[in-house]
Structure 1
Amino acid sequence: MDDVLPWTDPAPPGTTMKEPQERGRFGAYGGRYAPESLVEACREVDEAFRAAWADPGFRNALATLLAVHAGRPTPLTPAARLSDELGVRLYLKREDLTHTGSHKINNVLGQALLATRMGKTRLIAETGAGQHGVATATAAALLGLRATVFMGARDIERQELNVFRMRVLGAEVVPVTAGSRTLKDATSEAMRHWVGTTGDSHYCIGSVVGPDPYPYLVRELQRVIGDEARAQCAAELPTGVPEHVVACVGGGSNAAGTFAGFADTSARLVGVEAEGGAGAARGRLGVLHGARSLFLQDGDGQITEAHSIAAGLDYPGVGPEHAHLRDLGRARYVTVTDEEAVAAAVRLARTEGILPALESAHALAWIIRAAADGDLPAGSTVLMTLSGRGDKDMATLKELL
């Protein structure tokens, strides 16, 4: 059974997913646990972002890029055949249809614009599945910036196509051979590199993790998903608001962006983690990558390795705002196995002609399971964010099917 809180929502309406509290806190989580050499850099990013976010010129420039370069708004697609099979009304928010193939471009275009506003000439990024790296390389090429992407050696092996895409776009891809050679280690190495390059470089972190202001900054740049979906649901659904809003969670950026559009509604929010990387569902309080949150740890408090067939979910923790939403009971966090995710990806392909990223397939796998066991009552309206397309995972699926 999943180790989750019940469906109750004790948080008063409108009190969740606002600005963080003092010192970048979301309840007991968040903060800025950065080396002294990065404290000033984080403060610079915080001040620059808040000024930019309050500037209509910056917001308009970003909206234009999202429309003409990334292809926003993305559609809300009814999954008609699969809905009939499951007995629920399933709608997909199609982030897989953005330029570069995932939600990552929303965040990166915003941060790249911010970097140019700050006078930076180079982007640093970490990546797991490669989609954030591709988006970073894309935005850097578009705006005339240099890009250096840190990627775990294990992820480089299983995401070879995305590595090649980054290099074609002009980015330097740095293999990380330490530790588990996955996303956690790539993030650690990127932060270490940033220490010595803050003068000309902006760290374009890819999820709602890291020291303040990144969890808030990335959520705000990704909330375009939830805001669009909210308006689309109001126009499409008889009730105006779906009964359930579901998204996969690694660090948690696509879920945070989606949830932000529905946090003040009656929708039940569900974050779906990999069984081997369940920071929100099974993590304990700790500090990693500059923030206090929930992480997988051993008895001595050491961070343990995560595992997922989806490289983007192969992270041993969760963003601090997700930990806060879990404590409030506003969002429920559940887990899905590799096998369930693969089966869900194939099922969506064969019922709707859509190949989802294995990360997104985790969210779908939970919907399939919950519809079968009654956790999603018959006739329920479900919105799921399809965070990315599955092209990058074809080599993995070819080995398994």
Structure 2
Amino acid sequence: MRTLPTRTTVGIVGGGPAGLLLARLLHRAGVDCVVLESRDRAYVEQRQRAGILEQGTVDALRACGAADRLDREGLVHDGVELRWDRRGHRIDFPSLTGGRKVWVYAQTEVVKDLIALQLADGAPLLFEAQVTAVTGADTGRPVVHYRHEGVERTLECDYVVGCDGFHGVVRQAIPDGELRTFERVYPYSWFGILADVPPSCDELIYAHSPRGFALHSMRSPTVSRLYLQVPNGTDPAAWTDEQIWDELEARFAIDGDWKLERGPITQKAVLPMRSFVTEPMRWGRVLLAGDAAHIVPPTGAKGLNLAASDVIVLARAFTALARTGSTAELDAYSDTCLRRVWRAEHFSWFMTTTLHTAPGQSEFDTRLQLSQLDRIASSPHAAAELAENYAGLPVF
């Protein structure tokens, strides 16, 4: 029977991209850590989430040796296309941002790469380790309580980092009244599909339509990922494949010879949309990162990238603590990250409210949306603002 660690410097709860990237960065810096993930490996590696990586996220993956397959198989995108009023306009990222771009590389693949590295030569990574509580958050030695292989266990830590998502246990360890939360729930959802058909575009298409928003993305040169705005509570089974393709075609329509390619739909899911921020992102020896601290609507492609920027800041702070004994960067963690979080929240809100049609929306509000899209198409300054935020602002 293998001996499991009972003591570590940084206990990381959650083996998604945030927790795994943090563990990898800490391992490369020589900082001791342990990752506890409640699900099994197969589940974690198949969790479908984001697929757009900012320049800064790619740079971090390269720096920790986790980008070999990304560099071989990832799709580099230099821009996106906006569509409205049956016309399209391309936003060129490199020319507007000093050379920055984005990559299409699914979260499932990022996670697979990080898991393989972690199991090969990284810090301990335990699957099916169900964390039940975190105690002593306000002391010098918080303790993570978890169940693994039918046995109740504990992990004593100098610090605990919650990368366990919106419904995770770690945020619950912080007493009531110590956190403020800010939230917005949107009056529509995304109906997402995966289809075994080559993408009908070279770069993502964001479409504003009187019928509602639509997005054309991709997972690979042979798999398309597409989304439709739908009412909250929509049942995916109520839509036939033909209805889905017809609706997508109507919302992407432009004057010209562009054609939406159709193919077998392999997956359907409806995704509710919300904005959520917790302040602060630290209490005592407990720190929050990724979805445990903030959620954005997916329109701006910020979720995974915000999580990555959180743990990049955290890794720097823990490295500075190990090398110099100074807690200054760790003490500044929440304020440092929240500046970028709120910027990403605003951008995601802007993209969402500019491109979606709200239930009962007035013609006045629609005219404002169209005016904003016209402004982006006609002003390099407005286009640059969109491009800089989409390609990713620097990590502080």
Query: TM bucket by the smaller chain?
Result: under 0.3
**Which structure has more helix as a fraction of its residues?**
1
**Which structure has more strand as a fraction of its residues?**
2
For the pair shown, the structure with the greater C-alpha radius of gyration is 2
Relative to the length of structure 2, the TM-score reads: 0.27
Relative to the length of structure 1, the TM-score reads: 0.27
